[in-house]
Structure 1
């Protein structure tokens, strides 16, 4: 009888373990394999990589009051959602010439934008950082001496954009950097200025930094020093 009780107890333990494994395995939802119902492709925003092997497709849901966008990457039999968070606007995409990286230029509001970064894996493109690349660039600026020169932190029209020249490796700047290694980012933002005529004015106007795709670190090369010094000088009221 004692042996039988032990067997029953063992069976129950085994059953509970099996059930717990089943619950845990079902907890992680499988990634979506296609856009949900209601989403239709907007072909005018489709972007193809330089080698022709990857296509970024943008899908819009017009069946709700708030239109939402999804971005999907199609490559060599894979079809992956780039970001589970839906966007309110379409986006532009740029590839590095080796197509190992994609930069997404995303409008986020009136006069505001940010950047997202994706890297190529055997299972397709995935997010390269937990936070948007644009947010990381702002975080980096706040560690720099230039940030202390900004009398009032930007609150409006905060934007992170790409400096032109990614495809040509920024040769127009006189840079001689390894190919497909760096991304140059430009930051801009406005703040309220109090006075007889309160107004918003640019307090960060195109401050630039460099992101290293190999090390995931930021820096501000010397060739940007003169430009950055002017980018944090308060804009005179009424100036263009």
Structure 2
């Protein structure tokens, strides 16, 4: 009898230990020690189910920012971490896609894209969405008109209208299908008085969230042609 009790006790202990380990593994991760939430940057998704929280560590010379999405028991980091700057976030109206608009330096912006999964929000692309947009532009005929590749103030911006499917442009695109991205960048121009000038000035493209492909709608053709004309220094 004592042997049976001992065996039962061992099994219970092992079961509790395994449950405790599984529970610990299932608990949401979180920012490491030293990171404190900045409440003024907290925002919710259109459906109210996701909360974006921004945390900062001010102990180092360069402040370190982390961004986390909290939703229905999941708590996922919206990487990568960023020095110095908080971020802006914009959801599609169905709350399933999230764009992080991130300043990374003086006059320099990038974009990251995340998608809702059963595990919470995770990165939707291997490279930053901004990098993919620049890669796409370099395949376009307009790129051949760019006199010099941008070196300064390289920015990718999310065009306003994500929440209402860009109706202000007079289009009737499917809901929650596309993101519009604008690209800009400066370069040095040599001459009697060398200076920086814009070589890409608000060139626009469209990203298809369903296929992961870029294109340029015809409504942007005229403005895109002007966007690669050299500005006067």
Give your verdict on TM over 0.5. Answer: yes
Match of 2:164, SS? Answer: coil
CA contact (8 A) 2:94 2:176 kept: yes
Query: What is the distance in 2 between the residues matched to 1:30 and 1:77?
Result: 9
In structure 2, what is the equivalent of residue 106 of structure 1?
A: 102
In structure 2, what is the equivalent of residue 204 of structure 1?
A: 200
Query: Could you say what the CA RMSD is over the residues aligned between the two structures, in angstroms?
Result: 1.5
Q: Give the counterpart of 1:55 among 46, 51, 55.
A: 51
Determine whether 1:125 maps to 2:110.
no
Query: What is the distance in 2 between the residues matched to 1:32 and 1:87?
Result: 21
Match of 2:146, SS? Answer: coil
CA contact (8 A) 2:28 2:75 kept: no
The count of residues paired between Structure 1 and Structure 2 equals: 208
Q: Give the counterpart of 1:87 among 82, 90, 95.
A: 82
Q: Give the counterpart of 1:140 among 136, 140, 143.
A: 136
Runs of 4+ in 1 over 6 A off after TM superposition: 29-32
For residues 138-184 of structure 1, what are the alpha-carbon distances to aligned partners after superposition, in whole Å with 9 as ceiling and x for unaligned?
Answer: 00000000000111111110000011111111111111100000000
In structure 2, what is the equivalent of residue 168 of structure 1?
A: 164
Query: What is the distance in 2 between the residues matched to 1:32 and 1:236?
Result: 53
What's the offset of the Cα at 1:30? 9.8
In structure 2, what is the equivalent of residue 229 of structure 1?
A: 225
Structure 2 residues not aligned, in runs of 5+:
1-24
What's the TM-score, normalizing by structure 1? Answer: 0.84
In structure 2, what is the equivalent of residue 41 of structure 1?
A: 37
CA contact (8 A) 1:32 1:81 kept: no
